[in-house]
Structure 1
Amino acid sequence: MTWGLKIFNGILLLLFCSWMSAQDVVVTSFAFTPSRGQNRWHLSTPTQIHVHQRAANDDVYNKHHHQHVEMDRRSALWQGAFGVASLATATGLSFPQTAWAVSPTTSSTWILENNIVMPVLALNTVGLTADETERAITLAVQNGMTHVDFHPGKERDGVAQYLAHNTATARDQLFLNTKVRKAPPGISAADAAARTRAQIADDLQALNVDHVDMLMLRDSPDCDVIQAQWKVMEEALTAGQTRSVGVINFCEKALTCLLETAKVKPALNYYMLHVGMGKDAHGLRTFCDAQGIRTFAYGAVGEPGPNVELLNSPVVMKIAKAHKKSPEQVALRWVLQNGAAASVRPTLEFGLGTGACRRDGSCEQGLVSRARSLDWSLSPQEMQTLDALTSPDDNPTLFSSAGCPGAFVMPK
């Protein structure tokens, strides 16, 4: 192939991607394999170009996080520039025989220990009824959100309803993430361990599954209780009752206690993180990172209810306007783009222990909005601006036990 033809091929590919951007086409799974021996480029096998034309109403199409990589329209032109890579075949460089896949602005999954694939965007069902939980899961899955973060009780029953009302493959499509109830004050370590063991068995029976994908432990002011419960969590992991284990609202003191006797480190720490707190969450994230513990964030728009100051922040609103997004979308995007996973409520209609997923379209609209959080990005300058905000501030482990500083006190 002559130099002129190689240049021509690269330009054609660039123009093709530019045309797709102009047509408002989303590309998923875009890859090429350089064939050095044949001195040409060809589509990799089995990867093909998959193109989905967005509907006029811009509904989000279904997508599978484990198989497809979505590019939003604003980045399609930039990513089309990869077409000029065909020019490199003229330089004599050696290329590996692997597909070059275009990476999204934020990965849609994490790979945990033992190659467990965890979607980074989770549906938070807290405060929903069983029927609302089932409805929320249905809408979330339709929009590509397969990670379900739920509590034992009515939310768990809603998950069970969803599994019972769908096909046998429904379980395999979901990443089920649930929580061990907080140990009562004054309980002995032995009794706390027994309660934990019994709850795990009860939850699996109620869900009619043999395992969940993540089991998270709440903290306790009693170090012996934490260590005894974590031992049961490790037993559940070994027994295949859960595929991974994590913790909830663990401050440095609680984590230090757990790590003294743990054989398995928590895969993640689930705590509050939002714009105004700083991306390091008052040092908790640095502490967790040093231990290889990832950050799974709730409260991107505040807790125990929507944070009015955050959502009305002139800085957040200005950035939202520039991207034609809502303030809550900017707040969520900031969390994800800072490398944390995020658990999101379906709508802004929530409070302490309450939530809603109504049939009036608001729940669907909210989940569509949240599902799009992986489709766009904030600029480095915008990230720096949001990182620097010091208000509204919050305690990342607000809902911890009294063993951690600044724990939330339930109103009487």
Structure 2
Amino acid sequence: MAGIPDVSLSAGCRTMPLIGMGTAVYPFGCETMRSAIIYAIEIGYRHFDTAAIYQSEQPLGDAIAEALLLGLINSRDELFITSKLSCNDGYSDRVRPALEKTLKNLGLEYLDLYLIHFPVSLKPGVNVMQLDKEDIVLMDFKSTWAAMEECQRVGLTRSIGVSNFSCKKLTQLLSTAEIPPAVNQVEMHPLWQQKKLREFCATKGIHVSAYSPLGGKGTPWGTGEVMDCHILKDIAQARGKTVAQVSLRWVHEQGVSMLVKSFNKQRLTENLQILDWSLSKEELHMIDQIPQRKGFPCVLFVSDVGPYKTLEELWDGEI
């Protein structure tokens, strides 16, 4: 099995493995998560993605501690750990306390990457899965990002970035940022290829990371259309690969990193078996012709009484 390649991040101290293991599972929390993470470390995963809302920070931290005890890794420094700022902590005075709580949950002294989870703030204490439309607030990018920058300066995280940001929102953030975001983590797969956003991020030195590279089937934020796509199925059958491997290989060939979520040992292994082969020009052309549709438009953040009245306003026309 080929080793996982790295990518260098701007304004950061480390390289990031291009394939990471995601820990978002619905309903949030999973009894098998810890053992799956241990297995992932055994077979070579070194990048793990979590978030406060996923309720996976503590199981991930427990798995890291166990991996150290078992000698699967020699030190925490061998891992790249990403977590995210919840929307209800999207205020300048709540960023550092939220990150410190995350570090306590993980049992770590620092993160490798800390992201603003979404460019929207919620009233403090609100559960994003049970929010009322009146709870949605416009995020103050300038002050919130300044607090993120301070977290990097004091060593609580090695790099900082964002998630689910459009070109316009990135431009707004960059206009006042002293440290530019190293990463923009967004939905990306063959059915939502993010060409415009990737081109923009490339001009700004922002690395794009793909979540739901298989569509996130079976989750409130996912779609089953990726795994059911007949073009991907035809390519997979012709190549003797799974549909998942074809989709992941396509994402990898776009020069972005990806987060794959599975707690199944066979699939965890298969997800790494995409590095020693390539898609042909004809196959890439076939994938390029797939009609585009975002799987997770985030309608929950659209409201007549909130800062974003339509999906077009939320995504700045990039949907």
- Category of TM-score, reference length = shorter chain: 0.7 to 0.9
Separation in 2, partners of 1:241, 1:383? 41
Closer/same/farther in 2, CA of residues 400 and 388 from structure 1, 3 Å limit: farther
Within 5 Å, give how 1:365-380 maps onto structure 2.
365-380=266-281
Closer/same/farther in 2, CA of residues 64 and 387 from structure 1, 3 Å limit: closer
Aligned to 1:125: 23
Q: Does 1:146 align with 2:51?
A: no
Q: Does 1:178 align with 2:87?
A: no
Aligned length in residues? 281
Aligned to 2:199: 286
Q: Does 1:336 align with 2:233?
A: no
Q: Does 1:261 align with 2:176?
A: yes
TM value normalised by structure 1: 0.63
Residue 232 (structure 1) aligned to one of 147, 151, 159: 147
Q: Does 1:205 align with 2:120?
A: no
Separation in 2, partners of 1:341, 1:396? 19
Structure 1 residue 396: deviation in Å?
A: 7.3
Aligned to 1:112: 9
SS at structure 2 position matched to 1:310: coil
Query: Which stretch of the first structure deviates more once superposed, 333-342 or 393-402?
Result: 393-402
Structure 1 residue 193: deviation in Å?
A: 1.4
Separation in 2, partners of 1:388, 1:253? 26
Separation in 2, partners of 1:329, 1:64? 16
Residue 321 (structure 1) aligned to one of 206, 227, 237: 237
CA RMSD, 1 decimal:
2.6
Structure 1 residue 131: deviation in Å?
A: 4.0
Separation in 2, partners of 1:167, 1:131? 20
CA contact (8 A) 2:148 2:160 kept: yes
Whichever residue aligns with residue 297 of structure 1, its letter is: A
TM value normalised by structure 2: 0.80
Aligned to 1:301: 214
Which string of whole-angstrom CA distances, capped at 9 and with x for unpartnered residues, describes residues 73-93 of structure 1?
Answer: xxxxxxxxxxxxxxxxxxxxx
Residue 291 (structure 2) aligned to one of 376, 387, 390: 390
Whichever residue aligns with residue 88 of structure 2, its letter is: A
SS at structure 2 position matched to 1:315: helix
- Percent of aligned positions that are identical: 27
Greater RCO (Cα-Cα under 8 Å, separation 6 or more): 2
Q: Following TM superposition, where does structure 1 have runs of at least 4 consecutive aligned residues deviating by more than 4 angstroms?
A: 221-224, 395-405
Separation in 1, partners of 2:257, 2:290? 20
CA contact (8 A) 1:250 1:397 kept: no
Aligned to 2:189: 274
Structure 1 residue 210: deviation in Å?
A: 1.4
Gaps of 5+ in 1: 1-59, 66-107, 347-356, 358-362
Aligned to 1:160: 61
Structure 1 residue 273: deviation in Å?
A: 1.0
Separation in 2, partners of 1:266, 1:123? 21
Closer/same/farther in 2, CA of residues 304 and 310 from structure 1, 3 Å limit: closer
Aligned to 1:51: none
Separation in 2, partners of 1:170, 1:237? 21
Which string of whole-angstrom CA distances, capped at 9 and with x for unpartnered residues, describes residues 250-297 of structure 1?
Answer: 1223212211211011111111111123450xx222222222212101
Closer/same/farther in 2, CA of residues 290 and 395 from structure 1, 3 Å limit: farther
